[in-house]
Structure 1
Amino acid sequence: MRPAKRWVLPATVIAAIGISWLVWVGLHHSNPDIRSSVISFTATTDREMSIRYEVVRKDKDQVLTCTLVARDYDKTVVGQIEDEIGPGLAVVQKNTEIPTRSQGVNADVVACRIK
């Protein structure tokens, strides 16, 4: 007499649902509505950082606000601004100056969001 394998059908259903969900999550999060990336940054003076960054958005008519920060050697934020990107192109590259309270060593785009 063989033992019953009642667990095979529920395990198959749960595996199919789990794999489907995993594929959906991977595809959904790999292509967000708004993406930003830093191209370069430079300490122009003791009180200012220059950052060049790119924003890619699916809807080119959206108005975006990007939070830009400058940090010092200890990774302390020494400058922060909100930079607005108006409607226009889907891919935008910007050069922006970030005023700082002391010497900055790097700059970053924290986040871009719909205004």
Structure 2
Amino acid sequence: MKEAQEFSYEDRYGKAGGNRWVAYAFAISIVGLLWIFWAGLHHANPSISSQLISFEVTGEKEISLRYSINRTDSDQVVICTLKALDQDKSVVGQIDDTIPAGERFSQQVTAIPTRSAPFTASIARCRAE
């Protein structure tokens, strides 16, 4: 008579491989976290930043916009695109305002001519020339 041996799934199906994917997942997550940390620090301090202070409708076809510019390099010439919008949020006026090199922080007051009655104004973007 045969002796009964202990049943083993490893003998029957072969030994399963280890969890090699864990090392790859760990490496990818470390690289991803480092990239997120770098991107957050890089975009937290832009070289040019702008802030809308106030706006005032000064006429039937004109709006005045007061805003501030902060730049890291005081020798940069900055061009800001300013928009005037009507009550339906359609663009009714747009100009490029050039701020010459000078102080790192400056405030500007600029009038935006419009084709119809303006309701609000905004800074579309500011960029270095």
Cα distance, 1:91 vs structure 2: 0.9
Instruction: Tell me the equivalent position of 2:123.
Output: 109
Note the alpha carbon deviations across 1:29-87, whole angstroms, 9 max, x for none: 11111111110001011111000001111111001111111000011111111111001
Distance 1:111 1:24 in 2: 24
TM score, norm. by length of structure 1: 0.94
19, 27, 32: which is aligned to 2:41? 27
Instruction: Please say if 1:9 is aligned against 2:23.
Output: yes
Higher relative contact order structure (alpha carbons within 8 Å, sequence separation ≥ 6): 1
Instruction: Tell me the equivalent position of 1:93.
Output: 107
SS at match of 1:89: coil
For structure 1, which segment, 38-47 or 4-13, has the greater mean C-alpha deviation from structure 2 after superposition? 4-13
SS at match of 2:118: coil
TM score, norm. by length of structure 2: 0.84
SS at match of 1:11: helix
Please identify which structure carries the higher helix content. 2
Matching residue's letter, 1:20: L
Larger Rg over CA atoms: 2
Cα distance, 1:12 vs structure 2: 1.1
Instruction: Tell me the equivalent position of 2:80.
Output: 66
- Number of aligned pairs? 115
Q: Which runs of 5+ in 2 are unaligned?
A: 1-9
Please identify which structure carries the higher strand content. 1
Cα distance, 1:6 vs structure 2: 1.4
SS at match of 1:7: helix
Instruction: Tell me the equivalent position of 1:53.
Output: 67
Provide the alpha-carbon RMSD of the alignment: 1.3
Distance 2:21 2:126 in 1: 47
SS at match of 2:20: coil
Which runs of 4 or more aligned residues in structure 1 lie more than 2 Å from their structure 2 counterparts after TM superposition? none
Matching residue's letter, 1:102: S
